[in-house]
Structure 1
Amino acid sequence: MNLSLFIARRIYSGKEVQKQVSKPAVRIAMIGIAIGLAVMIISVGVVIGFKNEIKSKVVGFGSHIQVSNFDSSLSYETRPVVTNDSIIKVLSSIPGIKHVQRYSTKPGMIKTDNAFQGMVLKGVGQEFDPTFFRKNLVEGEVPAFSDSTSTNEVLISKSLANKLNLKLGDKIYTYYIQSEVRARRFTIKGIYQTNFSEYDNLFLLTDIRTVNHLNQWEPEQATGMELQITDYDQLDKVAYDVYQHVDKEVDKYGGVYYTQTIEQLNPSVFAWLSLLDMNVWVILILMVGVAGFTMISGLLIIILERTNMIGILKALGAKNFSIREIFLYFSVFLIGKGMLWGNIVGLLFCFVQSKFHLFKLNPETYYIDHVPVEFNIWLFLLINAGTFIASVLMLVGPSYLISKINPAKSIQFE
């Protein structure tokens, strides 16, 4: 057996250690490790959860990639492109594309007896994937959208419904300005709430035939196509493949296809999310530093307390390296115990918060009503490994203090 490891275990498990002066320092060091690791686990879990929640809301409204008309302005009053079965088949065949759906938009206004509100009417076809809106549905149901008939049913956000004092089943009148003012009456079939105010206060969903009729487009035309991908990490690669297949192609009406990713369409949102990564790195560095320095102070106190033992070991012929190993092994035991408690606290918080949403947020500011937490096993293991390695490496330098201890003087040290 490794002699240094054996002695370290005896020191760590020995009953006499409970009476030593180093007991408070050892506890403080373990608490520092535990708190630091718990804060790192919680911080990473919250940031990942928050980024994924916001990302899922933005993608839910606009999908991962959009193919539209190159000549479309930045407003929702767009120019169309042909979105027939041929182009959809081409896009669906690109590796990484999971789903393709058409959409059309038309800006307008909702008017009630007492108020009015600007909005964008978004039309979708029968291939529309309603998963995102069903997940965020508050009342009613998602209408069965069609491209062959006008249902005159809409899905409206809870924030718009509250502003206009509307409820499920109400009839609403909408108005659109083109060469002349046109009106359209809809029935509220469902109410959704995502807490993403930029879109909740904007979009009404209906069938694509109605929007195309308001835009006076041909049945095979639409504002564009929304593409869902299988792996978000491959967004740029898949977008480039889409670009290679359709960009700058001209349809029979003169529309030019143009590809944009959700990050290009919402640069401010994704720039804000990228800033969170910097915050996480700052927290990780600070917590590793705090944990490391508490361990350094604890190790120095332990070495000073064990000066007599170090002198005896040196007198018996032990090398400085072997004695340093004893105290580094002892420190590893303390780090391991502190990390165990840190993992328990951090993971327990993540589990409780993800299940019960105890800590709330202001949805008007953060686009979500609770602190989101997401657990990633690989990042969890990486945090643990990084904390352990950094803490041990920080102790290597202070352990050189052992080489300065004189056996003759230290044996008499009390």
Structure 2
Amino acid sequence: MKLEYFIAKRLITAKDHKSSISAPIIKIAITAIAIGMIMMIISIATGIGLQQKIRQKVSSFNGHIIISGYNDNNSDVSTDPISIHQDFYPNFNSVEGIKHIQAVASKAGIIRTETAFEGIIFKGVGKDYQTDNLKEYLVEGRLPNFKSYLNEEVLISQYLADRLGLKLGNKFVTYFIKENNEGFNLRNFEIVGIYNSGFQEFDATYVIGDIRHVQRINKWKPDEIGSFEVFVDDFNQIEEKGQQVYQETSSTLDSQTIVEKFYYIFEWLKLFDFNIVIILIVMIAVSTINMVVALLVLILERTQMIGILKSLGANNWSIRKIFLYNAFYLIVRGLFWGNLIGIGLLLIQKYFGVIKLNPESYYVNEAPVDINLFYILLLNIGTVSICLLVLLIPSFIITKITPSKSIRFD
């Protein structure tokens, strides 16, 4: 065992340690580190969790990249059909990192009941539709059957169902404007499933049913659709993949990523990255300042010991290491409690959803969390490293202590 570590350990475990002058200051420093770690873990977990959840919801209803005709590029409603016979469909083999591609078509309509009416967008999907994206949000019933004969089954949001007074199993009439704006097409639908994504912008808009209804209403051919929705493996590469997809499509088609289509949402999400950085800087700064104060008090409290060690031949760096070992112990102790409490709070939120949010403002019903052990490990390593580097400065005061004066220090 190294001498410096042995002495530091004896100082920590000494009986008079708890009753010393530095005891309350050390407790404050440990508490500050613990609170700082709790705040940093929660800010990263909730910030990244919210970003991932909103990205997931937006992509569930739109895909990651949307391929459509130029007239439909900025619209949620399909106006001009495109052929389903494309080189990239049903498998986008020319671009790596494409997970799935599906054909959809949308039509604006109005749902009317005896007591209310609501404007909606009927999103028609087919056999290739990735239903896993919606299963998470299903609160009642089941998903419509898109793979067999044409039926009247639809999936409606809890928001629309409540506003229209509809329940699972109810039938309703939807009016669709004809292409020449001369009259309406009426369709009867039956609710077989109710979803709640918590994203009110989509919940108040989309009713999901069979794409063949849209094709018949618009008098399209069976091989004509509104657009393609493309899903990528890695969302962080969405801009790069979006450019590659655009280059691989014909000149008659355009493509757009959801980051471009919903830029206002993703620009808002970028603010969370800035907020997280600010919180990390402030918390590490507070923790470091508290540790600097605690270390200075420890040094002043052990001035006589420093003088005795120097008189016995110990060099400055050896003595500095004693106090850095002591500081490291305090930091680790604070981090232990910070991690324990921080991760505990995240687990409570993840499994019980204690903290609720307003979906109109945050697009989610409860605060989502992403417990990433790699990020937590980096936080701990970064905090320890920064604190110890900064503590090298106040430990320099040991070099100014002389044995002749310090031994008589009282």
Q: What are the within-5 Å matches in structure 2 for residues 314-333 of structure 1?
A: 314-333=310-329
Give 1:295 shift. 0.4
Matched, 1:123 2:124: yes
Q: What are the within-5 Å matches in structure 2 for residues 80-99 of structure 1?
A: 80-84=81-85, 86-89=87-90, 91-92=92-93, 94-99=95-100
For residues 313 and 91 of structure 2, the distance between their equivalents in structure 1, rounded to whole angstroms, comes to 78
Q: Structure 1's 143 and 93: CA in aligned 2 closer, same or farther, altered over 3 A?
A: farther
What corresponds to 1:271 in structure 2?
267
The gaps in structure 1 that reach 5 residues or longer are 249-255
User: Is the 1:83–1:221 contact (alpha carbons within 8 Å) kept by the matching residues of 2?
Assistant: yes
Q: Structure 1's 166 and 92: CA in aligned 2 closer, same or farther, altered over 3 A?
A: farther
Deviates more, 1:283-292 or 1:366-375: 366-375
What corresponds to 1:168 in structure 2?
168
- Residue 337 of structure 2 aligns with an amino acid whose one-letter code is W
What's the TM-score, normalizing by structure 1?
0.94
For residues 90 and 351 of structure 1, the distance between their equivalents in structure 2, rounded to whole angstroms, comes to 39
Matched, 1:189 2:159: no
The secondary structure found in structure 1 opposite 2:18 is helix
Matched, 1:348 2:344: yes
Give 1:241 shift. 2.5
What corresponds to 1:138 in structure 2?
139
Q: What are the within-5 Å matches in structure 2 for residues 334-345 of structure 1?
A: 334-345=330-341
For residues 353 and 45 of structure 2, the distance between their equivalents in structure 1, rounded to whole angstroms, comes to 14
For residues 19 and 376 of structure 2, the distance between their equivalents in structure 1, rounded to whole angstroms, comes to 36
What's the TM-score, normalizing by structure 2?
0.95
Q: What are the within-5 Å matches in structure 2 for residues 14-413 of structure 1?
A: 14-72=14-72, 74-75=74-75, 76-84=77-85, 86-89=87-90, 91-92=92-93, 94-146=95-147, 149-178=149-178, 179=180, 180=182, 181-248=184-251, 256-413=252-409
Provide the aligned C-alpha RMSD in A: 1.6
Q: Identity percentage over the alignment?
A: 42
The gaps in structure 2 that reach 5 residues or longer are none
Give 1:164 shift. 0.8
For residues 78 and 222 of structure 2, the distance between their equivalents in structure 1, rounded to whole angstroms, comes to 18
The secondary structure found in structure 2 opposite 1:127 is coil
List, as ranges, runs of 4+ consecutive aligned residues in structure 1 with deviation greater than 4 Å: none
Q: Structure 1's 19 and 399: CA in aligned 2 closer, same or farther, altered over 3 A?
A: same
For residues 157 and 110 of structure 1, the distance between their equivalents in structure 2, rounded to whole angstroms, comes to 13
User: Is the 1:92–1:100 contact (alpha carbons within 8 Å) kept by the matching residues of 2?
Assistant: no
For residues 170 and 19 of structure 2, the distance between their equivalents in structure 1, rounded to whole angstroms, comes to 76
Q: Structure 1's 15 and 139: CA in aligned 2 closer, same or farther, altered over 3 A?
A: same
Deviations 1:134-156 (A, max 9, x none): 2111221111114x843122111
Give 1:406 shift. 2.6
Equivalenced residue count is 406
Q: Structure 1's 340 and 214: CA in aligned 2 closer, same or farther, altered over 3 A?
A: same
User: Is the 1:247–1:259 contact (alpha carbons within 8 Å) kept by the matching residues of 2?
Assistant: no
Give 1:65 shift. 1.3
Give 1:364 shift. 2.7
Deviations 1:272-329 (A, max 9, x none): 1111000000100000011101101101111111111111112222222221111111
What corresponds to 1:252 in structure 2?
none
- Residue 64 of structure 1 aligns with an amino acid whose one-letter code is H
Q: Structure 1's 92 and 155: CA in aligned 2 closer, same or farther, altered over 3 A?
A: farther
Q: Structure 1's 193 and 90: CA in aligned 2 closer, same or farther, altered over 3 A?
A: closer
For residues 240 and 219 of structure 1, the distance between their equivalents in structure 2, rounded to whole angstroms, comes to 29
